[in-house]
Structure 1
């Protein structure tokens, strides 16, 4: 598939590979509606409201999440599913704190919600840090659902979102393209 706005450059990371975008769009079509539903906590939607809001309807909210995921994966790993430990992070020293996957999540983020623990336990069979890292690299659907759910609990676990570093790279045109594809 030829993407127009989804292929936009992200900072100095380049452009997302079509294979990554294909998986993101497929996941976005099938992901549970509850992930995108309004809630009362300060979450990703609160964080990017100025850049991409206001929210028009459930499909728009879904597309906004996909756009955040597209840009955040560029910042965190240059869209590399197999990305490992962040060597610039001095706290990345244990199986629980070592980042993994396209969104560079670590097992210590499981503490943000029971739904995160339940998801990983259901898909991986354990919340062990080493197993978590391996799963975030190999089970792309799990990695996408995990980061989306995590961003609904907090933006504080993802520095580029928390510090609004991704905001200049978020695109309303990309959101519209996601809407047309999902």
Structure 2
């Protein structure tokens, strides 16, 4: 049994990669990070207004953002039976926000989206960037995974985790 995805795109929102690319990128991350356990993941593409409301509700931050991850289970949860799928959680992305961010960072929209999809999935898998050492570990893993994806241009350390200010906050 493979991974299962519940994909949704809010009306009026323009995806930055194809559904096939999104599934392939998710599979690549999960095959390398979920310990062989099949996972179920919801990926939603939403407007900036919607992600702002979610950010306010879940993180008490009244501002739009690029990605929010809402964790459910972890693949290594001991309560899961062998071979039982893990309900990993939800990754919510705001393509319009990501597109502007791509321009600011000098990346393509598709590559910026891949970075943030990977970032969101890694959060569901237990990675974080609240402390400097955690941020370095997460960035290194992002770079390794992105190097395996069919990106428009080589993605280097300059492109990685955009949330460095969280370390100081």
Bin of the TM-score, shorter chain as denominator length = 0.3 to 0.5
Q: Which has the higher strand share?
A: 2
Q: Which has the higher helix share?
A: 1
The structure, 1 or 2, with the larger RCO (C-alpha pairs under 8 Å, 6+ apart) is 1
